[in-house]
Amino acid sequence: MTDATTDATTDATAPARRHPDTARIHAFRDDSLGYDDATALAERVREGEVSPTELVEAAIERCAQVDPALGALVFTDFDRAREHARRTADSHLSSPFAGVPSAFKDAVQVEGAPMRLGSPAVPDSPALHDGDYARAFRATGLIPLGITAMPPFGWTAATERQGGLVTRNPWNTGRTSGGSSGGSAALVAAGALPIAHANDGGGSIRIPAAVTGLVGFKPSRGRHTDEKFSRGMPIPIVSQSVVSRSVRDTATFLTAFEASHLPVGVPPVGPVAPAPARRLRIGLVEQSPAGGATDAATLAVLRETAVRLAGLGHEVVPTEAPVPTGFRDDFIAYWGLLALSTSLSGRRLFDPDFDPAELDPFTIGLARMARRNIASLPLHLLRLARTRRQFDARFGDLDVYINPVVAHETPEVGYLDADLPFETHLERVSNWVTFTPLQNIAGSPAVSLPTGHAPDGMPVGVHFSARRGQDRLLLELASEYEAAHPFARIWE
């Protein structure tokens, strides 16, 4: 065994490392799996410094150390991952992430695993084969170890499910890991995995990344293959991507994915330069589109990020969010329509044995809200379609917007509990998650970068967004920022 993973595999029972703040937990160690990003790990595999089997075994042990405290995995397939690693070691290692361990979120069809979308209403029947997305994901060379947790159907921004099942934040296990990709984010932030699948229908990549100190990039619409259940949406809003610890990992993943799935309606990402070719004009948005207050700690990080961008030579100008009047109500109404469709058509969309009696209170509440307001739904959809068409024009002479990812600091576990009364849950989530849904409707790219911390030590993300198709520009700006101001890590 090489030095790259010796420390990772000598003691399978080693406890997870705790920060002096005993609520912080992680599995980082002084070895390559601990400190290298996924791109560097793949390079070590290609150079023969470490084998895929060694990396997979190290990741399995790390998951075993931290997951009892985090609750991030809902299904494991370690034996298949080991076999995949052995096959990778015996084959050509040309894939960008060949031999690097990862995981799928509970929102894609994966052979041998159930896809339950975080809900007991969906039976735990294993899929007979990989879906289109899982096949393209594996083609990048990543080796999934299992399936990560999400809240029921991804409607909310904390990974908390019925029966008190909670995914906790490794920076403070009393806080939420965000949602809906909270399971993936928790494992990557804790050092169990270097990169993991995530998807986003209203902020579900960007919010967990923001609260766990990761890079969370939502690609432009058309840059990925959809799962079957999302293809019939009146307005497509779901994007597939990853959460990672470096911008280059996300950029490499998006470029690698294009090798098996050409984007539709947007240019390929292609090679990402270390910085944009020109200095950009960046709009600084502080005010929540919903009109509520943004807390002081979040604003402080946003303003410091703006100062740093100006220090890199970009022009930063205060402005307002490019959000039309009534957008929040329109999006909530659309969320309700999708929940109603889930409750009525779950047997067709997900599984013949789908059981509506097992739906959670928030899904039921959204569906009932949609029924009550069914007459107004066409108007909401019309306005959302108009927002989608007009979004790019709202940039004017700006290249990028920056704003908070969420409106206040990371809540405690239970703030968005799955069993909360519907009205309480809706008010809390819609006040916290006010900035991210716009890009889902517009189909434009956006990224959360971990640019600072609150006084209590929790990560605070800043949200960067651009016009549809400008993914490369956004990644280049993110790369430049990361190089100038490296992101803090949980062990520091």
CA separation, residue 346 to residues 180, 299, 324, 358, 365 (Å): 19, 41, 32, 12, 16
**Helix, strand or coil, per DSSP, at residue 275:** coil
Known active-site residue 204: yes
What token pair was written down for 114? 């159930």
Known active-site residue 180: yes
CA distance 217 to 464: 9
Compute the half-sphere exposure of residue 388: CA atoms within 13 Å on the CB side of its CA: 17
Catalytic entry in 32, 51, 102, 105: 105
Catalytic entry in 95, 119, 177, 180: 180
What token pair was written down for 156? 């909310």
CA separation, residue 56 to residues 61, 89, 253 (Å): 9, 12, 19
- State whether the Cα torsion 275-195-238-303 is positive or negative: negative
Known active-site residue 125: no
Please count the other Cβ atoms lying within 10 Å of the Cβ belonging to residue 357: 6
Catalytic entry in 119, 204, 246, 479: 204
Asked whether 328 and 295 are in contact (CB, 8 A), the reply is: no
- State whether the Cα torsion 365-366-367-372 is positive or negative: positive
- State whether the Cα torsion 354-360-363-369 is positive or negative: positive
CA distance 462 to 385: 27
Instruction: List, as one string, the DSSP characters of 242-255.
Output: EEESSHHHHHHHHH
Which residues are annotated as catalytic?
105, 180, 204
